[in-house]
Amino acid sequence: MNDADNTQNSASQPLDERVNNRSQRPVSDAFKAFMASNWAPASKDLPGRDAVAGFAATRRKTVSAQFPGERLVIPAGPPKVRSNDCDYRFRPHSGFAHLTGLGLDHEPDAVLILDPVAEGTGDDGGTHRATLYFRPLAGRDTEQFYADSRSGEFWIGARPTLAEFEARLGLATAHLDGLESAITKNVGAPEIGGTSIRLVRKVDENIDALVDTARYNTAKDPDNLDMGALDALDEKLSEALSEVRLIKDAWEIEQMEVAVAATVEGFEEVVKSLPRALTHARGERVVEGAFFARAREVGNELGYDTIAAAGNNATVLHWTRNTGTVSAGELLLLDAGVEADSLYTADITRTLPANGTFTEIQRKVYEAVLDAADAGFAAARPGTRFREIHTAATTVLAERLASWGLLPVSVEEAISPEGQQHRRWMPHGTSHHLGLDVHDCAQAKRELYLDGILTEGMVFTIEPGLYFKNEDLAIPAEYRGIGVRIEDDILMTADGPVNLSAALPRKAEDVEDWMAGIYREADAGN
């Protein structure tokens, strides 16, 4: 073959196939026959029911009741490309995970559909029948088994079969090949006997396009189809999926406890890493790495990017570069959470003296933040409004700032809606809901979230802070470069709040004793 033939063949190769050039996979019939032979048969034993299955069924029924007669489409989402042919570790959309009970990384491209049926004839007597559509494991006698680097078992390991998922989840399953028909069948306006669709949008652009096309093709007047109104219907489904997570069930609370316990282990590993961090040009990365290693060992992942901020970096609220040094005499603000295999995450912050001992001014600022956190905890009672936690915590901070001579106005003026001068040093909210997302239930209506009533089963953070930047000329020099935040994960019970993260010390002297104890134990083991 001459050079011209090579050039022609290369140019005619489809672009999306060229990524496989590196594999140099044989294509002979002999190879294909050999690869399809002599594999041990897959087990035919079905697994038992997952502990989450009954809870997930209850959640689906709750959502179903809000949308009778409508088809609900909840995608898991596709793999996301990190670079070229490398994907990020897959994580399904939180609404999908909540309604199926699935976590980890084995259902990319899956879609949960709740199809409307007559009242009382659906799952558990509801108004919908749920079906999980996904791509099951290909047989070992198929080319996909060894040739598909994204979904072949030879490349990524086994995936559950349709029957296995059905046994585990108590949920009807179907092959992804039938998804298009399942979404588009009988689509149309209810007044002419059609079925309307509600979709969780911006999760899978292919599903977005499929639903939009189906709506357009079945519209009475396609040219005047109000896509904005349809988008608003879809937003109501996303809103409902957020709001149903405001109250955690018993299984979710157990998973939150698992995530918090793993996060406590991660903080202990960070303390062990501090002597090395103090000598490293990127000490913050040493800290970040110590926590990440524990997260991967005992959980699925990080719940969010770790903030490992030393010195003045601790005054940057979302400092995730973590490229700085960690120096003796500075504070280290560590905001980190382990995501459990169930995808529920903790979110805890502690501010630690890098050398194990607070200075006098560091302790003063730290104790002010701790008092604010305690005031927020005291305000968190069943029946009070969520926003009252913030009011209680920030009032304490405003009072301390005034007593230190830092507030330019009175406490009363500062905390009034027309003032807010104390927010220069505490600019963020004090609390947010926590669960499958670190900022959980984010699409819930304001009256159920910020203005909502604290209710048994809610899980949320309390996290006041004070941040005095080196560049802040409105404060004396002794305060500059100090950033302190204390954050705990709180479960609301009928008897009041419970601090799920109480195993991590909070008082300044307890933090110092805890760190010293870890160092003594490490020295004894050497």
Instruction: Using DSSP bridges, classify how beta strands 128-134 and 172-175 pair: parallel, antiparallel or unpaired.
Output: parallel
In three-state form (DSSP H/G/I as H, E/B as E, the rest C), the secondary structure along 308-335 is EEEHHHHHCCCCCCCCCCCCCCCEEEEE
**Helices (runs of H) and strands (runs of E) counted in the chain:** 16, 17
What domains, with CATH codes, occur in the chain?
Answer: 53-243 (3.40.350.10), 250-525 (3.90.230.10)
Amino acid of residue 460:
F
d(CA 300, CA 173): 25
The DSSP line for 361-423 is HHHHHHHHHHHHHHHHHHH--TTSBTHHHHHHHHHHHHHHHHHTT--SS-HHHHHSTT--GGG
Distance CA 66, CA 347 (A): 31
- What is the DSSP code (8-state) at residue 280? S
Phi, psi of 188 (to 5 degrees): 165, 180
Inter-residue contact 343 to 103 (CB < 8 Å): yes
pTM over 0.75: yes
Per-residue pLDDT of the chain (526 residues; tens, 9 = 90+): 444 444 445 667 787 677 666 666 778 989 888 988 888 887 889 999 999 999 999 999 999 999 999 999 999 999 999 998 888 999 999 999 999 999 876 689 999 999 999 989 999 999 999 999 998 877 777 888 888 777 788 888 887 889 999 999 999 999 999 999 999 999 987 877 789 999 999 999 999 999 999 999 988 888 888 888 999 999 999 999 999 999 999 999 999 999 999 999 999 999 999 999 999 999 999 999 999 999 999 999 999 999 999 999 999 999 999 999 999 999 999 999 999 999 999 999 999 999 999 999 999 999 999 999 999 999 999 999 999 999 999 999 999 999 999 999 999 999 999 999 999 999 999 999 999 999 999 999 999 999 999 999 999 999 999 999 999 999 999 999 999 999 999 999 999 999 999 999 999 999 999 999 999 988 887 6
What is residue 27's DSSP assignment? -
> Cα angle at 272 between 501 and 348, to 5 degrees?
25
Helix (H) or strand (E) holding 230: helix 227-243
Closest CA to 179 of 292, 90, 71, 105: 71
Listed in sequence order, the residues at least 6 apart from 361 whose beta carbon sits closer than 8 Å to its beta carbon are 478, 479, 482
Distance CA 198, CA 200 (A): 7
Q: What is residue 188's predicted lDDT score, i.e. its pLDDT? A: 84
